[in-house]
Amino acid sequence: MIRQISLAASVAFALPASAEETSTLADYLITIAGLEIGEIAVKYSEGDGSYTLDLDGGFRFLFISGAAEGRVRGAKAEDGFTPASYRLRFDGPTREVISDISFKAGRPDAWSIMPEPKPEWFEDRIPLAESDMPGSIDPVSAFLILATSAAEACTRQQKVFSGFVRFDLTLTPGAPAAKGVIPCKVGYEPISGHRVDSEGVAQLRAGQGLEVSMAELAPGVWAPHYIGFGTRIGTLAFQRKR
């Protein structure tokens, strides 16, 4: 059952930025099967013990196009990032979908998907459970890592909740860093919200279909340099521009 997001989370998106805030911009190319189809801009800001991530981009491929924008806000401490609110809006070829999550006491507190999925969408899916949520963060903050070295940036275990599905993500170094970029081996363990017989989930669980490398985004803050997802027509990739 999808829970409705609280008013407090909606208000959080409208709060003004801190006067002492510092920001870093990163642009990513979007490609599929090696063909450039769009770009997405990421703005990372921090100040007064908080952080914000803003995403804005779009794509066009053959006869379809889409646009996405998102924002994550939360607290930055010595031990990492703790989200308070997450919103992702995707305007796809057929409809607009908005996913909202608010966090409280180290777990998702309320969430919504608009428009709400039809009943058949839930068929054959592992139901989300309250016991799955403690310690979970959003899928954007999951790839934002405080680290003093490349190897540390690629050593991470994280519980993730997207608003749709809950999964565990594990990163381990796959090779030595080169030019500040380190490839990561990715472990994926589905928890709930996914289809029991999903071929895509089975591939991810087997260590196939997802590639990640990390690079420093801001001093001591690491983020993906490259993320690739296997699809039937080729790899859908997000590659940071130098």
Residue 121 has which token pair? 């969408």
Model-level pTM? 0.86
Chain centroid offset of residue 229 CA: 13
Classified as helix, coil or strand, 200 is helix
- Nearest Cα neighbor of 114 from 238, 191, 3, 227 is 3
Every domain of the chain and the residues it spans: 7-240
* 134/41 Cα distance (integer angstroms): 30
Element (H, E) at 234: strand 234-240
Residue 198 has which token pair? 């999903």
Q: Between β-strands 210-218 and 166-173, what pairing exists: parallel, antiparallel or unpaired?
A: unpaired
Taking only the tens of pLDDT, the chain with its 242 residues reads 344 433 333 434 444 444 578 999 999 999 999 999 999 999 999 999 999 999 999 988 888 888 999 999 999 998 899 999 999 999 987 789 999 999 999 999 999 999 988 888 889 999 999 999 999 999 999 999 999 999 999 999 999 999 999 999 999 999 999 999 999 999 999 999 999 998 889 888 888 889 999 999 999 999 999 999 988 888 999 999 97
Instruction: Please report, as a single letter, which amino acid is at residue 166.
Output: R
* 88/67 Cα distance (integer angstroms): 11
